[in-house]
Amino acid sequence: MELMIPLKNQPGSPYYSQIYSYIKEEIKKGNLKPANRLPSTRRLAENLKVSRSTTQMAYEQLLSEGYIEAVPCKGYFVCRIEDLVHTGQDQRDKIPSLLSPSSFDKEKVPDWKVDFSPRGIDLCAFPFNTWRKISKNTLVDDNREMFMPGDPQGEPALREAIRSYLHSARGVNCQADQIIVGAGSEYLLMLLSQILGTDRVIAMENPTYKQAYRVFGSLKYQVVPVAMDRSGMDVELLEKSGADIAYVMPSHQYPTGIVMPVKRRQELLVWAYEKEGRYLIEDDYDSEFRYKGQPIPALQGMDGRNRVIYYGTFSKSIAPAIRVSYMVLPVPLLAVYRERMNFYASTVSRIDQNILYQFMAEGHYERHLNRMRAVYKAKHDTLAAGLKPFESQFLIRGEHAGLHLLLTDRKGRAESLLINMAAKSGVKVYGMSGYFIHEQPGTYSSTIVLGFASLTEEEIRIGLVLLSQAWSVYDGKEGFCV
């Protein structure tokens, strides 16, 4: 549908505020009916002769207040609001900071034009029709067994599909019996804590994946940070730490992007072999997305003495809402699990497991991964190309894999300053300091993390233009901002 919105050039009334107010009032008056599809932000911007970021800001505010909803790959639709409670005060008056240009000075959540979140993924390429068809077929028959309790470790067919994939794509050597399926990596780490016991000292790379750090902390583990060099976790420092378990991400360290070379992997295995009871936890969270060369084989495939605990997830490769992760236990720990923990029921429903199994067995997962590699590579290349003019002022790293890049300011401007400067231009960026367990002065100082997975290529370009203006990035020939 088309929207004819009368825009007025009035001081103190920006266009995005006028668009937001007009659509909201039309919905409240009933002129825009529930389930009506709104024009895309691009189309509305073309019709109104405004920038797309203007219409995006208006839609994002309507989304946050519940007047409209976004359906992935379909568009924006009007929500049903008959049951909303009216307090007599306009919602916009309650949260003026979201529509005010001075919102960044009030320490409230602004309405970002571009958010370079490193946590997002692209759901527009998700094969909804295929997933829907498999889901329907799973429930079409009166399959009573599907509603009965299943194997505590996960459905045998799914575990075999995971084993086959891990062996062929990641070089993991295991049997399906060694795999445990769980609802998220947090659950699997909690389960692992009961297998290993909590009287352990866990070493983590610094900086690291903070969610795992928080889980270990909640389980009352003693966690020690171990600094990294250009090859990953420093083994000499690991030896001095007193740890008996090391949590590492060798294929693509988060957030530094370091790929651990074979020599360092061998050194870690030697460390684990030196004393009884030492283990390596290998987090292989996004190894599928590598843009130069072949994927790096898993550390677990090099282990000949059952000292590597391997785990991964489908959250990055399929969707976070799938909530299916898996852990490969070394044979000795599998025996402990079966002795102590086998009474725990699986935390993933048999229906969801069966859907995922069919998705993998019929080849859809492999095709989806190939498609997503192409999608992310295009976005990655767009970001990398757009960052070329930044190279005189920033050191750019992590460009060969993963879903984010790192920018380190050559001028040494404070990380907080760079973040605030970007925020004033409506761009959200993330600092490396947030990933450290304990502060290490001078390590990755003035470094910004730019994620690209959830952005379109056009949004990436818009964000870079805004960042170039915010950070005063100039090219050397023309003297103008990018």
* Domains located in the chain, CATH noted: 15-100 (1.10.10.10), 129-363 (3.40.640.10), 367-470 (3.90.1150.10)
Measure the CA–CA gap between 231 and 79, rounded to whole angstroms. 51
Q: How confident is the model at residue 291 (pLDDT cuts 50, 70, 90)?
A: low
Q: Which two tokens stand for residue 283?
A: 């987090």
What does the pLDDT read at residue 446? 87
Q: What is the mean pLDDT of residues 137-159?
A: 83
**For residue 73, how many other CB atoms are within 10 A of its CB?**
10
pLDDT of 222 above 60: yes
Residues 6+ apart with CB under 8 A from 115: 427, 428, 454, 455
Q: How confident is the model at residue 393 (pLDDT cuts 50, 70, 90)?
A: very high
pLDDT-wise least confident of 67-81, 135-149, 170-184, 236-250: 135-149
Q: What is the mean pLDDT of residues 381-397?
A: 92
pLDDT-wise least confident of 40-54, 59-73, 293-307: 59-73
Select from 72, 65, 62, 48 the least CA-distant residue to 127. Answer: 72
* pLDDT above 70 coverage of the chain, percent: 87
Angle of CA points 304, 308, 313, to nearest 5°: 130
How distant, in Å, are the alpha carbons of 380, 400, 401 from that of 377?
5, 10, 9
What does the pLDDT read at residue 474? 53
Q: What is the mean pLDDT of residues 185-194?
A: 92
What does the pLDDT read at residue 103? 38
Select from 255, 250, 208 the least CA-distant residue to 231. Answer: 250
DSSP result, 90-126 = -HHHH-GGGT-TTGGGTTS----SEE--SS----TTS
Q: What is the mean pLDDT of the chain?
A: 84
84-130: pLDDT as tens digits:
434 344 443 333 333 334 434 434 445 789 999 988 888 888 888 99
**For residue 137, how many other CB atoms are within 10 A of its CB?**
12
Cis peptide before 6 (omega within 30 of 0): no
pLDDT of 16 above 90: no
How distant, in Å, are the alpha carbons of 16, 158, 329 from that of 170?
48, 17, 16
What does the pLDDT read at residue 64? 65
Q: Which amino acid does the sequence have at 147? A: F
How is residue 401 annotated by DSSP?
B
What does the pLDDT read at residue 478? 37
Question: Can you name the residues that pair with 397 across neighbouring β-strands?
Answer: 406
- Evaluate whether 279 touches 307 at the Cβ level (below 8 Å): yes
